[in-house]
Amino acid sequence: MLKALPLNRRGIPSSRIALGCMGLGGGWDREPVTASNMKQGHEALDAALSIGINFFDHADIYTRGKAEKVFGQIFKERPGLRGDILLQSKCGIKLMEPGDISNSFDLSREHILSSVDGTLARLGTEYIDILLLHRPDPLMDPEEVAEALHQLKASGKVRHFGVSNMSAAQIQLLQTYCDEPFIVNQLHMSLSRISWVDAVLSVNRDPWKDITFPEGTMEYCRAGNIQLQAWGPLAQGLFSGRPLEGQPENVVNTAAMVRRLADEKATTPEAIVLAWLMTHPAAIQPVIGTVNPQRIAACAGADQLELSRKEWYELYVTSRGEKLP
C-alpha cells in the first residue's frame, strides 16, 4: 500500500498526483489568451478532475503568465471551483528580455512580493495554497526571503511555502531564518532522470555517471516530512509511446519493459512510469506536465498500482543501462 503524502500528514487534502499547468496558455510569447487556449484549459482541468486530481501546479513564468490567466478565467466561468482545488505556484525566475543575455534568478524580497501579487491578479484569487521558490539564487539573502515570506503569510496571500530544485543544504539555510516551514521540494525525477536513486547508491564509491543529485537531499526531505514532488515524471512520453528512433539501447529496453508490465497489469504505460516513482517509500507526488486530456486520462489508476521490489529494480537497472555492484 502506498504511503500517505507528507502533505496529507500535514492536513492538506491533496490528491496523490498533481497536474502541472506549464502547457496552458499557448506559446511563450506576448500574444493574448485565445478561445482555443481556454478550451484547452477547460478540457485539461476536466480530465484531471475526472481521475481524482485536485492539485494544480503553476509558476509565474509559465507561458509568460498566460497559464495562470487561463486558470483565472476558468474560475470566473466556474464559480465555486476555487474552494475545491489546491493551487501551487512558483516565483524566482526572471525570463530573458530584449538586451538580456540569459534568464536569471531573483529571490529578493521585492521580487518575491511583486511576483506573488502578479500571480494572484492573474489567477483572480485571494490566496495561493503553496508558494515555491523556483530555483536557487546565488545572490539570495535568506533574511530577505524570511521577511518576504512572513509578510505573505501575515497578509493571507500564501498559506504554505516550499522550494523547487534545491538541495538539503539550501533548504536548511533558508529554514534557519524562516519561521514558516518549507513543506515541499519539487525536483526533476522520473524513470529517465534517475540520479536521485544513483545518489543513494554512490556513497563510498567512485562517482557513477550522471550523478548530479545532491547527496542527502532525499533523506533530509523524508526526515523533515517535506513533500517530494517530481516534475517531468512522464519523461516526455519516452516510455509511453514517443518514437524511439535514435534512442540508446537502455531507453528502448526500458520502454519495452514498461509496455510488458502495462500489458501484464492491464493498465497503461503512463501508469507504470508513475507507479515506479510512487512505489518509492518517500511518497513522491508526480506533477504530470501534459495537458492532453487523453494522456491525463491514461494516468488513471497509477496511484492504485504498487510494483514489486523485483519489478522496481528491473526498471531502474534497465533504465540506467548498468548493473548494480
Residues 6+ apart with CB under 8 A from 304: none
Q: Give the residue among 306, 303, 307, 305 at the shortest CA–CA distance from 15.
A: 303
SS3 track for 124-184: CCCCEEEEEECCCCCCCCHHHHHHHHHHHHHHCCEEEEEEECCCHHHHHHHHHHCCCCEEE
- Please give the single-letter amino acid code of residue 240: S
Compute the distance between CA of residue 112 and CA of residue 106 in angstroms, rounded to an integer: 8
Q: Does the active-site annotation cover 62?
A: yes
User: Which residues, including other chains, have CB under 8 Å from residue 74's CB and lie 6 or more apart?
Assistant: 38, 41, 42, 45, 81
Residue 97, amino acid: E
From first CA to last CA, the distance across the chain in angstroms is 29
Rounded alpha-carbon distances, angstroms, from residue 154 to 108, 147, 150, 151, 179: 18, 11, 6, 5, 12
Catalytic pick among 62, 127, 177, 316: 62
Cα dihedral across residues 170, 176, 178, 179: positive or negative:
positive
- Cα–Cα distance, 304 to 271 (Å, whole number): 9
Residues 140, 105: Cα–Cα separation, whole Å: 9
Distances (CA, A) of 188 to 41, 103, 127, 216: 24, 19, 26, 16
3-class state of residue 323 by DSSP: coil
Q: Which residue do the cell numbers 524570511 mark?
A: 146
The residues annotated with a catalytic role in the active site are 62
